[in-house]
Amino acid sequence: QRLKAAVHYTVGCLCQEVEEDKDVQFSKQSIAAISEITFRQCGTAGRPRCFLMLCRHAKRTTVTTEDVKLLARRSNSLLKYITQKSEELASSNMEQKEKKKKKSSAAKGERTPGEQEAAVTENEDSNMA
């Protein structure tokens, strides 16, 4: 039931985004219908044992986005959406890692590679004078 509620909530959020972007409205009944269809589709295509079989076949214990994409390949639009979202998440994670790296190096008093180059150039310029 919690999973079904989570699917309904997520579908509602996605419908809200579409409403803002496309200037359309979704009724509560249509959101409920989309949620039910989505839940049923995920139930048939994404049974936990399907993911487990993929992991075991790949000699892994963690389900990856590639596993999800593999199971979603029958629906081109779903596969495209999952691919887009996973790329967005990956780039967002990279940005966060870079920010953390910069913060930790700044806290330690270390210089970033760009700052190191500037310091070397500045040093060389002062030595030439």
- Taking the complete model, does pTM exceed 0.75, yes or no? no
Residue 34's CB: how many other CB atoms inside 10 A?
Answer: 17
Q: What's the CATH code of the domain at 35?
A: 1.10.20.10
Tokens of 33: 């219908």
Same domain, 58 and 91: yes
Identify the domain containing residue 5 by its residue range.
1-44
Cα separation of 40 and 54, whole Å? 21
Write the single-letter amino acid at 27: S
97: left (phi over 0), alpha (psi -120 to 50) or beta: alpha
- Domain tally for the chain? 2
The one-digit pLDDT tens for each residue of the chain (129 residues) are 787 888 889 899 999 998 998 889 999 999 999 888 887 776 655 566 677 777 788 888 787 878 778 877 877 888 888 888 888 888 888 888 888 888 777 776 655 555 555 554 554 444 444
34: left (phi over 0), alpha (psi -120 to 50) or beta: alpha
